[in-house]
Amino acid sequence: MANISLKNVLRPGFVGRTFKSGYRFQRYWDTPMATAFFCGESGAGVFIVSMLLNFMPGVILGLLITGVGKTFFHLSHMGVPSKSWRAILRPDRSWISRGLWGIIFFVGFGVIHVISELFGLVPEVLIKPAYFLGLAGAIVVVVYQGFAMSHSTAISLWNTGLMPLSSMLYGLLSGVSMVMALGVLDLYATDESQLLMVTLFQKILLVAVFMTILSLLHGAKHGSKGARQSYELLTSDFLARPFLIGVIGIGTIMPFLLLMFAPVNFLTTLTATVSILFGFYLYRVLIFKAGVMDPILTPADMFGK
């Protein structure tokens, strides 16, 4: 990742930190936030899938990935972490605030569910509410970051309903893949129909993620000038190689071919899982780095068409 840097990257029309009118990279969200997003969505995804399959190792893993990983990288990004609690005060106006409430429900009721399943210490009246409220919180976590990005009208690449869709699909795909790698195949070794259902769901999600990425690129190519700049960065400029090879090639096409044509065993499952997670993380980083702000004024605005 070290060589994917925005420092000293000058392109026609980009004005950097000057007061000139032109394109600027967004620099507010970078690798720490991309990592926090990745931890939030993948953790919520493995939690959701594991809850539906009653797979306790995956439930615990999802809580740890989101509760520890996402929290750590969010706090590392903040200038004043001690004031971060204020973000929960306006869920009526902010997807960040709604997301924080989702994390509270997800982690809080998820832990209660784990205690109930492992130790039986939770009153009967709380067992079902904890299950459904934890699941509802995880669903919010897996989509809210995409909604937060899609509200960024100044960054045309992000300003689309495909952002929350990609968050949800990638989160669920990561969840299914990690559950499979953790050993869910062994759990259903005697139930061929269940095994086929889980593997089929993984393949469908891979195709859905691939089509969502293509749709995002298509929309950017035919969008505003800022979106077209982002498209060029991702397909033919300095971000093209990691995006095309890493996100699309290694992250979607390779695991799909493995799952379609390679024999199903732990090695192929683990390889596909690592490829998917690698592609997802790279997607998160590159979508942030390709965020280009549209010019406030264009030559047509200043001098007339």
Q: Using one digit for the tens of pLDDT, what is the confidence trace for 41-96?
A: 999 999 999 999 888 999 999 999 998 888 777 666 555 555 555 666 666 666 67
Do 112 and 131 contact (CB within 8 A), yes or no?
no
pLDDT at 164 over 50: yes
117-136 pLDDT per residue, tens: 999 888 889 999 999 999 99
CATH assignment of 25-299, given 1.10.10.520, 3.40.50.300, 3.40.50.1100, 1.20.1630.10? 1.20.1630.10
pLDDT at 6 over 50: no
**Global pTM value:** 0.85
Query: What's the pLDDT score for residue 10?
Result: 47
DSSP secondary structure string for all residues of 14-25: B-TTSSSSSBEE
Q: Which two tokens stand for residue 104?
A: 């509270």
CB-based burial, 18-52: b 16+ in 10 Å, e otherwise: eeeebbbbbeebbbebbbbbbbbbbbbbbbbbbbe
Query: What's the pLDDT score for residue 24?
Result: 73
| Average predicted confidence (pLDDT) for the chain | 83
Can you give the residue ranges of every domain in the chain?
25-299
Rounded to 5 degrees, what are φ and ψ at 29? -115, 120
Most trustworthy range by pLDDT among 24-28, 93-97, 127-131, 260-264: 127-131
Do 161 and 150 contact (CB within 8 A), yes or no?
yes
How far apart CA 35 and CA 104 sit, in angstroms, is: 19
Mean pLDDT within 253-279: 92
Query: What's the pLDDT score for residue 77?
Result: 55
